Structure 1
């Protein structure tokens, strides 16, 4: 009994001194009492992803890692891939739904020099930062709001509707797709990226369990679709030509590998609890991939 008490004391001391106990408690708190301030958590995650990159940026994407190991470059490559698949040019009137950084607006405005850009965002700080950074572009129209904000845009006003690495956060995907169809000119293009289920759920229990894990990890798993369901939903709204590009390995696997190295190099210089949400997010991706349940697709619909 004395030996057991001694070993227990040694174990507790090690857990406290190593910081594992505090991290474990922070994780339990995150699981049982999810944050009531997702906007604040987003800003923390955004900062953690971008330090200590120079020059500083506000990117908050998974990134496209096929030919780079740098976070900023991976995000730029992801934006460029979506734009190229959408055949973006300086003749197009573009709607960007749910942008997560002013940096991606600069890609559309500065690199592709689109004719006009309407960018919709819910977060006030993102809105203000985008206005400060990109407000000098006459082609830019910033709009506050979520998916519902699209209902106030004129029908047939856009050549392209883009949604870059944000659809898995939307409250109502079907509303977004339906509104996008109405806003596009005849022959217009909807281009977006999203996490897609590899297969339907095997049971109600599996569905509930994955939805719960997604909720604490920052992913709206309750609205995730299989690729087949995606195509059916888009066709039912009038999209006739649908192109799907699987970029799972170059996005999900690439991001998880980069994050592992990034966290290891910076965790000793930052408070461990700041990383909880990002670590849960990466864990969710890895776990879903291990189960053979998650893919990442770039989808273009016309």
Structure 2
């Protein structure tokens, strides 16, 4: 017993002196009692991810790493992949729900030259940054809101609805799909990327464990569907044609590999507590991939 008590004392002392205990406690407080600090934390994460890119870059995606090892290019490729899968054209009225960077808006507006773009974000600083970076586009409309804001939009008013690397943060996917079906024209398209489970939970214990770690890492697993069930979920909401493509290796594995190198380059130049959210998210993805329990997919539904 004296030895165990001594070792526990050493461990607690190390956790306190290293700052890990304070960081962990602060993280749990932010998870269970969210506050206005979320906006500042998101800005920090974007800065860390884009630190070696051009100053104007503010991407906050996992990226598509099939033909690149650069973060900015991987994010551009992910946006381009979704746009190409949904067949965006210059005649389309497009809605981007949950955008995380003005960079993706510039791709829809500048490269694909959509006819009209409505972009919705829940973060005020994203709206402000988008207004500064894309204010010259008269066909851009910026709104603050969430996936639930779709129920306030006119029925059948959108040709293409895009959700780029954000659906796994939505609390209720089926509510989102229901509102999306209503706002999209009958011949229109819903295109998005999402994290899904590769198999059902074995038991309640495994479910509670994964949900706990997912909540800490910022990945909402409580409502995360199994890949094989996704088509039925969308069919039930009125989407008849559903195309699903598995891009797990080119997204999740690619991001984790890049992040490990990126962290090594910058960790000595930054405070360790700045990295805690990104590190936890990456750890959770790696852990789930090791368990062969996580997939990343693109879905196009009509």
Could you state the TM-score of these two structures normalised by the residue count of structure 2?
A: 0.92
Q: Do the aligned partners of 1:30 and 1:216 also contact (CA within 8 Å) in 2?
A: no
CA–CA distance in structure 2, aligned partners of residues 165 and 30 of structure 1:
26
CA–CA distance in structure 1, aligned partners of residues 144 and 254 of structure 2:
32
Q: Do the aligned partners of 2:197 and 2:293 also contact (CA within 8 Å) in 1?
A: yes
CA–CA distance in structure 2, aligned partners of residues 111 and 55 of structure 1:
20
CA–CA distance in structure 2, aligned partners of residues 142 and 249 of structure 1:
33
Q: Give runs of aligned pairs for residues 75-114 of structure 1, distance below 5 A.
A: 75-114=75-114
Q: Name the SS of the counterpart of 2:41 in structure 1.
A: helix
* 1:24 corresponds to: 20
Shift of 1:31: 5.7
After TM superposition, what 4+ stretches of structure 1 lie above 6 angstroms from structure 2? Answer: none
Q: Give runs of aligned pairs for residues 131-170 of structure 1, distance below 5 A.
A: 131-170=131-170
Could you state the TM-score of these two structures normalised by the residue count of structure 1?
A: 0.92
Shift of 1:15: 5.8
* 2:210 corresponds to: 210
Runs of 5+ consecutive residues of structure 1 not aligned to the other structure: none
Q: Deviations over 1:237-293 (max 9, x none)?
A: 111111011100000000000000000010000000110111000000000000010
* 1:193 corresponds to: 193
* Residues 101, 31 of structure 1: alpha-carbon distance in 2 compared, 3 angstrom cutoff: closer
Q: CA RMSD in A?
A: 1.9
CA–CA distance in structure 1, aligned partners of residues 23 and 55 of structure 2:
32
Runs of 5+ consecutive residues of structure 2 not aligned to the other structure: none
Q: Do the aligned partners of 1:161 and 1:189 also contact (CA within 8 Å) in 2?
A: yes
* Residues 89, 103 of structure 1: alpha-carbon distance in 2 compared, 3 angstrom cutoff: same
Paired residue total: 291
Q: Deviations over 1:150-174 (max 9, x none)?
A: 1111100111000000001112211
Shift of 1:147: 1.5
CA–CA distance in structure 2, aligned partners of residues 225 and 100 of structure 1:
23
CA–CA distance in structure 1, aligned partners of residues 81 and 272 of structure 2:
34
CA–CA distance in structure 2, aligned partners of residues 126 and 204 of structure 1:
38
